Structure 1
Amino acid sequence: MAMHLRRLGHNRKLASNVARPIELWSRSFAASPKDDDEPKPSQIQLQAQEMLDICSRGVGQVIFLNSPTSGAVILGGLAISSPYLAGLGALGAITATGTAKLAGMDNGMLKDGLWTYNGCLVGCAAAVFGPASVLACTTSTIVGAAATPFVSATLKEIMIMPQWTYSFNAVALTSLLRTRPLLPPPETSTEAVEPIVSTVGMGDILVAPFTGISQIFVVESALSGGIIWYGIGMYSPGLAGHALMGSAIGMLSGALMGADASELAMGLWGYNSALTSMAVGVFFVHSIPAVALSAFGAAATASVFGAMKTIGGIYGAPALTLPFCTTVSACYLFGKQVKGLEFASAPHSPEKNKP
């Protein structure tokens, strides 16, 4: 009996030791009004917390996730593959948020991260396609990200639908069409170029849908894509299903159009299609017609990507997310003409969308 009481006391003490840090952590985020003895955060701390929340939401809003937790998971997934890219993405998010705040733009959109997400993408694109110099790339990110809220504010006045990532494309392509990063160096001779032997295996193809999800943030990594997909699932399992389905359909469509296996494995044919499918899942009430639009929209996006990729190759610039913007705009307008499709009154996710 005594032995049992000692064990019980030990277990209670252990539970108390575990629960205490959790309690302290919880209080730091949600202090009770009765805790007068607890030190209150300063104005600077409150502003820093608000900035962190907005920027994290902005990272999530790249893929329609209005959640700082999911945004933090996504940024962590990017950092695993490229700390440099994650850093510039965060810098772009901070710059766009600060610019919108200083300019006094709509506070509701600010708190939802809607002035932020295009700036995050500018930073990600700069890390991959920008100047080799870190200083030049950082400067490019700050200047480009600062411009995105103003482009978005202009589009807000003239568009009859969501802005998607038009601001990111307008800002990034303004620079990329000048620098033309995809053109081979001038000194490269066509006779000196040796044929590239593809080393793509079946495993690379099987994980390509996850790589496609990572390519939304200009990262080529199935691991990062898997972490991002997990972040989507935390917000909405249904939306995670749309993302993976869209990426897989985009990859399959590319294969049917004769795309090179290396491009399929890199996820290049999946990311725009994943975005289109997710947008349908966010803005339409879940139904069989909505799922069909998600699937057909993903296939159509892959077709548009193939065309824009060819045109972009001529000018030495990537297509970025223009194929997504073009196709999802058509899907949005198409939805107004089909009775089986209903727009969500408060767009969120397939689980929560109501007519």
Structure 2
Amino acid sequence: MARYLPSLATACYRQNAYTRNCVIGITSRAFTSTPPSSSSGENNNNNNDVSSSLSTSKAPKSTLSTILQSEHLDSATRAIGQVIFLNDTNSGRVVLASLALGDPTLAACAALGSITSTSTSKFIGLDKQAWRGGLWGYNGALIGCAVSVFGPSSLPFIVLSTMVGAAATPVVSASLKSAVSMPQWTWSFNFVALTSLLRSRPLLNTASSSAESAVAIATPGFQDIALSPLTGISQIFVVNSHLTGAGIVAATYMYSPKLAWHAVGGSLTGCLVGIMSGADLADITNGLWGYNSALASMAVGTFFVHSRNTMILSATSAAASASLFGAMQAVFGIYGAPCLTLPFCTVASACYLLEGHIPGLKLAKEPHSPEKNG
């Protein structure tokens, strides 16, 4: 009977261009900002020195405005990479370009969500170092992705929903920061998104049409199965495209080659768990069993010092995330909503608390990547 319950997989995949589920990134690398140096040299036959000194109150203001605009854009772009633990502006740009390759509208919503949450955090005066690192913006980017797929069809309402939801995420994150002593993963995103999705129950609207079209869907071939780990990585941003997944892997490799292997290995492990669990092949080939696993594996690689036991934990967390996804998918399907990245958040939190209980597992003092964590 559970086979006929609406689920994230059946409802999304069989409803034309609807793509899938999401998830989280957070690193705590420090950022510094060096203000432009000002010279106070002597007058070198420059007749403008007098007028320059008389307008000191105006020139610095213009320069400061330019710097702030640049920092703001840097933070918003960095936030898109922070979804997958990439604390780098260039990697963030590649990720955004990869999203546009698979779904231009979703990429625009992700950018809008990132900018909105980044702007909100600055306006209300949240921690500036975290702001520079994009840590207040990545949940907002995911809100944009979710709204693009599960939200209203009208463009004005998509924009409004993205901005309202994204603006709420840094407030929730600030509250969680005071309540928990571990990375916040994507709890904020899940809280804000599911508050809306459980009320609107978007998957129930497509359950009947997906059941009617099930016969017309071709059985996934070997190529689809082989590419499913890449599709799973794209599903972190709710995109169903192995090309987008490949672009995201490339962005990760630019930042950390070993972290890229964590992403691919985690997604592959999740797909294998799905196959062994007898899951629908359509769910597997569309990446639904891979995205939470990829995130969990990357979280272990980012926050733990690299070791043999860390690699074992990485694989174990990927398998556990996939198993938990299978269970949550069935439960949330009853209510017509996706489980988003709740499996990842749950498993990543459990892994983080293992330090001191298993020999060889040590949290990095300044989490960055497997290479820099040692």
Q: TM-score range by the shorter chain?
A: 0.7 to 0.9
- 1:81-230, aligned counterparts within 5 Å? 81-184=102-205, 188=208, 195-230=215-250
Q: How many angstroms apart in 2 are the aligned matches of 1:190 and 1:179? A: 18
Return closer, same or farther for 1:63/1:127 CA change in 2, 3 Å cut-off.
same
Q: CA offset at residue 334 of structure 1?
A: 1.9
Amino acid at match of 1:68: T
Q: Indicate how the Cα distance of structure 1 residues 179 and 292 shifts in structure 2: closer, same or farther if over 3 A, else same.
A: same
- Going from structure 1 to structure 2, the CA distance change for 1:192 and 1:142 (only over 3 Å counts) comes to closer
Which of 336, 351, 369 is the matching residue for 1:331?
351
- Structure 2 match to 1:61: 82
Q: 1:264 aligns with which of 261, 265, 284?
A: 284
What CA deviation, in whole Å up to 9, does each residue of 1:87-109 have, x standing for no partner? 00000000000000000000111
1:213 touches 1:271 (CA, 8 Å); kept in 2? yes
The 3 A distance-change label for structure 1 pair 338 and 325 is: same
Q: Is the 8 A contact 1:198 1:262 kept in 2?
A: no
Supply the AA of the counterpart residue of 1:55: A
Deviation at 1:143, TM superposition (A): 0.3
Report the equivalent of 2:313. 293
Alpha-carbon distance in structure 1 between the residues aligned to 2:96 and 2:299: 20
| Residue 317 of structure 1 pairs with residue 341 of structure 2 | no
1:211 deviates by: 0.7
Per the alignment, do residues 272 and 185 of structure 1 end up closer, same or farther by CA in structure 2, a change over 3 Å counting? closer
* Paired-residue identity, %: 54
Higher relative contact order (CA 8 A, sep 6+): 2
Q: How far, CA to CA, are the matches of 1:253 and 1:205 in structure 2?
A: 13
Q: Secondary structure at the match of 1:341?
A: coil
1:336 deviates by 3.2
Q: Confirm or deny: 8 A CA contact 2:101 2:244 kept in the other structure.
A: yes
Distance 2:319 2:214 in 1: 33
Cα distance in 2 for residues equivalent to 1:230 and 1:162: 25
Q: In structure 2, how many angstroms separate the alpha carbons of the residues matched to 1:191 and 1:108?
A: 49
Q: Structure 1 residues 254 and 130, CA, compared in 2 at 3 Å: closer, same or farther?
A: same
2:354–2:361 contact (8 Å) kept in structure 1: no
Q: Tell me the CA shift for residue 62 of structure 1.
A: 0.4
Shift of 1:335: 2.9
Question: When the two structures are superposed, what TM-score results if normalisation uses the length of structure 2?
Answer: 0.82
Question: Would you identify which runs of 4 or more consecutive aligned residues in structure 1 move more than 4 Å?
Answer: 30-34, 188-194
Separation (CA, whole Å) in 2 of partners of 1:192 and 1:302: 28
The letter of the residue matching 1:353 is N
Question: How does the TM-score come out when normalised to structure 1?
Answer: 0.86
User: What amino acid is the match of 1:63?
Assistant: I
- CA deviation vs aligned residue, 1:120-145 (integer Å, no higher than 9, x gap): 00001100000011111110000000
Q: 2:364 aligns to what? A: 344
Unaligned runs of 5+ in 2: 1-34, 47-58
**Distance (Å, rounded) in 1 between the aligned partners of 2:86 and 2:107:** 18
**Residues 194/115 of structure 1: CA separation in 2 closer, same or farther (3 Å cut):** closer
Contact persistence 1:59–1:74 (CA under 8 A): yes
In the TM superposition, residue 45 of structure 1 has moved relative to its aligned partner by: 2.5
Relative to 1, partners in 2 of residues 1:192 and 1:291: Cα closer, same or farther, differing over 3 Å?
closer
Tell me the distance in 2 between the aligned counterparts of 1:304 and 1:219.
21
Task: Find out whether 1:75 has 2:96 as its counterpart.
Answer: yes
Secondary structure class of the residue paired with 1:335? coil
**Alpha-carbon distance, 1:207 to partner:** 1.1
- What secondary structure is seen at the aligned counterpart in 1 of 2:263? helix
Q: Secondary structure at the match of 2:204?
A: coil
- The verdict on how the C-alpha distance between 1:70 and 1:194 changes in structure 2, with shifts beyond 3 A counting, is closer
Gaps of 5+ in 1: 1-29
Q: Classify 1:76/1:331 alpha carbon distance in 2 versus 1 (closer, same or farther; 3 Å).
A: same
1:229, CA displacement in angstroms? Answer: 0.4
Question: Aligned equivalents of 2:304 and 2:360: distance in 1?
Answer: 10
Question: Does the C-alpha gap of structure 1 residues 190 and 156 become closer, same or farther in structure 2, counting only changes over 3 Å?
Answer: closer
Return the alpha-carbon distance in structure 1 between the equivalents of residues 294 and 209 of structure 2: 37
337 and 265 in structure 1: CA distance in 2 versus 1, 3 angstrom threshold: same
One-letter amino acid of the counterpart of residue 123, structure 2? L
Q: 2:301 aligns to what? A: 281
